[in-house]
Structures are given as structure tokens and as C-alpha cells.
Amino acid sequence: MAKKVIISGGGTGGHIYPAIAIANAIQKLDQEVEVLFVGALGKMEMEKVPRAGYRIVGLPIVGIKRSLSPENLMFPFKLINSLLKAREVVKDFKPDVAVGVGGFASGPLLMMASLSGVPTLIQEQNSYAGITNKLLAKRAAKICVAYPNMEAFFSKEKLILLGNPVRSDIVNVVNKRALALTHFGLSEERKTLFVMGGSLGARSINESINAGLKKLVDLGYQVLWQTGKGFISNANESIKVLGTDRVKAFEFIYEMDLAYAAADVVVSRAGALSVSELCLVAKPAILVPFPAASEDHQTKNALSLTEQNAALLVKDHVAGNELVDKAISLLEDTDLQNTLITNISKLGKPDAAENIAKQVLRLIKD
């Protein structure tokens, strides 16, 4: 009889790509396991998961807006509908294990799976546990975490420190630099600043880079820039005005291994996935945490690196004045780059996806 696993969660690349990495690792260990994804209708997982070769079912669940919004009035109805749909999915698919990777889409599915007697595993990516995972933890069989000292949020007996799963192509980018520069049309003679604001873009980072683009180009640097959907037209207009071929802007970059390989310095948000990837590729990084992230977890993620002298931090509200100058300073400071590389490389966990997959398969066996 085929073994079946449901993986739920999403909303951002920070939840989706670890989920796909876990699925890939499960199937690498046991090709007979059938994997079904459950996400939120209208969110990016509905496009990214099928692209990775997996089937996904969407729930009508939405997150609660932090500001007063009429949309919050619909939340109870969408939650109830999502719970009913999740119960139907569990009943029809009959999973042996349900895995939650965080994000509001994982809540209804894991709740209904656990109520149906299906063992559940939670993967908490951040150094500060999210509300959904804290609520689900009491019924979970195992909780895989990426940071130490998570006993503050979860039962110690269930915790396993394994790191965050990342895409396998990112584990080794050392020998890809020449290929990467050619792929993006960049020069081997110039230092490259890689700018990313997460899968959805980051306004403060984008606006700061946009304002300092001329300075970067005039100093001889080249920029690889993932803008997100909302800023790509602004970026393209700025590039056109400058008349330069040394800035390459993309709405979204799928070839992240090549983007990291091309980079001398990285500017990034401090989502769990980005931080984990930076540790594995061991690149000098400037982190700009998103201040509105739940429980300010991005700042806590960033501090886990900066406190070990493994990255630099620029606060979101001062990015406009400080980010580009700090990036230029780091691009010019080879000694500091080497220090950051040495310290961040100690924090990577390249086998996280495989080790989490082993925990999932162990729950099936048990």
C-alpha cells in the first residue's frame, strides 16, 4: 500500500521552498511515497508547487490583517470553510503523516489531520515561533526547528534541531561563478552586489537601491536585482535613464544558485529561508529585517547572525540613508568580507531537508 504525506503551508517563498525541499528529500529516500501539497488559494504556492512537479489543493484561508480592515470580518467564515475543506482533503487522501511548514495555510490542514488521528510534524523555520505553529504544537508528534533554545515555545521532548531545508542546488555554488556571470550577462572584471527582498519584493530595499543606483554604477560595481512584481517597472525605468548594462533587474529569479554564485555581497531581508541559504552559500550579507513580520521574527533571525559577527544589519527605517553606503563599504572591505564568510559558513546545515524527511518517514514506520 502506497505511503502518503501531506505538506501544508505557504504564502511566501520562505514557506514554499522549504516545503518543496522536504518533498524532494522524501521522494529521494523513498520513491513510493505520494506527496500532496495544501496551500492557500490565490497565493504563490498555487503556481510554484505545480512548477516543482507536485499536486496542490487550495484552501480559502486568509491571514488576519494587522490593521483594522473590513477583510477581517470575513476571516471566521473563511476559516470555517477551510477547516471543512481540509477535513475533506484528509478524508479523501488518507495521509500517513501531515507536515506543516508554517504560514496560515498550514493551520486548518494540520488541525483536521490531528483530529483524524494522523500524526503531524511541524517545521518551525524562525528563531521566534509563529502563532500557527504554537497553536498546533500541542498535538504534534515532532517539531523540527532551525535554531537552538526553542524550548521557550515548544515541549522539549518533541524538539529536534535540524536546520532549515533549502533547495539542493544551493548547497554547492562554489564552482558556478563563471556560469552565473554568463547567465546574467555580468562581467568577470567587476564586483557584483546581489539584492533580493524575498519572493514578493521589499519596498525599503528596492527604494534604497533605486536611489543609490547611480552611485553604485559610477563606482564601477554591477548589480543583480530581484525586485518582486511591484517594483520591476521602476527598476527598468531607472536602468533606462542611467543607460547602463551593469544593472540586471528581474521580477523573480528562479536560478537562485546562480544568483548567489555571482554575488560578492548580498543585500537581503532576514526571512528564515534567506538566512539559511546565506549560511550555506557563505556570502557576506547585509540584512534588512522586515519590521512588520509577525513577532518581529526577522530581526531575531538577523540577530542570530550579527551576534556571531556573521552578517551586518541595517534597520528598515534607516535603509534609505544607510543601505547603499554600507553595501559599498562592504564591497570595498575584503578583510570584513572574509570575516563574515568564515563565521557564516559555520552556521549552515546542508543536510536539513534529508534529516527532516527521515523524521517524516520514521513517523510513517512507527
Query: For the segment 183-193, what is each residue's pLDDT rounded down to a tens digit?
Result: 999 999 999 99
Residue 169: predicted pLDDT: 85
- Which of 65-74, 87-96, 171-180 has the highest average model confidence (pLDDT)? 87-96
Find out whether 235 is annotated in a ligand binding site: no
What was the pLDDT predicted at 175? 92
Please check whether residues 359 and 281 belong to one and the same domain: no
309 known member of a binding site: no
Residue 298 is assigned to a ligand binding site? yes
Confidence band (pLDDT; 50, 70, 90) for 273? confident
The annotation status of 308 as a binding-site residue, yes or no, is: no
Count of domains forming the chain: 2
Report the CATH number at residue 322.
3.40.50.2000
- Residue 72, pLDDT above cutoff 90: no
Specify the pLDDT at position 287: 98
Work out the average pLDDT over 169-178: 89
* Ranges 87-91, 146-150, 352-356: which has the least confidence: 146-150
Residue 160 counted as an annotated binding residue: no
> What is the predicted pLDDT for the residue at 172?
82
Same domain, residue pair 110 and 144: yes
Residue 12 marked ligand-binding: yes
167 marked as part of a ligand binding site: yes
Mean pLDDT to the nearest integer, 235-253: 96
170 known member of a binding site: no
Q: What's the pLDDT score for residue 200?
A: 67
Residues 320 and 213 in one domain: yes
Do 132 and 181 fall within a single domain? no
pLDDT digits (tens, 9 = 90+) for 296-343: 889 999 999 999 999 999 999 999 999 999 999 999 999 999 999 999
Q: Are both 146 and 190 inside the same structural domain?
A: no
Q: Is 276 annotated as a binding residue?
A: yes
Domain span at 79: 4-167+350-365
Residues 208 and 311 in one domain: yes
- Please report the pLDDT score of residue 77 as a whole number: 83
Whether residue 282 is found in the same domain as residue 357: no
Across 105-112, average pLDDT: 92
Q: Indicate if the alpha-carbon torsion angle 351, 356, 361, 366 is positive or negative.
A: positive
Binned at pLDDT 50, 70 and 90, residue 153 comes out as very high
**138 and 216, same domain (yes or no):** no
CB atoms within 10 A of CB 212: 17
CA distance 29 to 46: 25
Residues 325, 361: one domain? Answer: no
Query: Does 277 belong to an annotated binding site?
Result: yes
Same domain, 339 and 354: no
Percent of the chain with pLDDT over 70: 96
One domain for residues 72 and 179:
no
Provide the pLDDT for residue 67.
61
Is 129 annotated to bind a ligand? Reply is no
Q: What is the pLDDT of residues 6-63, one digit of tens each?
A: 999 887 777 898 999 999 999 999 999 999 999 999 888 999 999 999 999 999 887 6
Q: At 120, is the pLDDT very low, low, confident or very high (cuts 50, 70, 90)?
A: very high
Do 233 and 139 lie in one domain? The reply is no
pLDDT recorded at residue 63:
66
Residue 247 has pLDDT above 70, yes or no: yes
Is 321 labelled a binding residue? no
Q: Edge-to-edge strand order for the sheet containing 142-145?
A: 55-59, 34-40, 4-8, 97-100, 120-124, 142-145, 159-161
Residue 203 has pLDDT above 90, yes or no: yes
- pLDDT reported for residue 68: 63
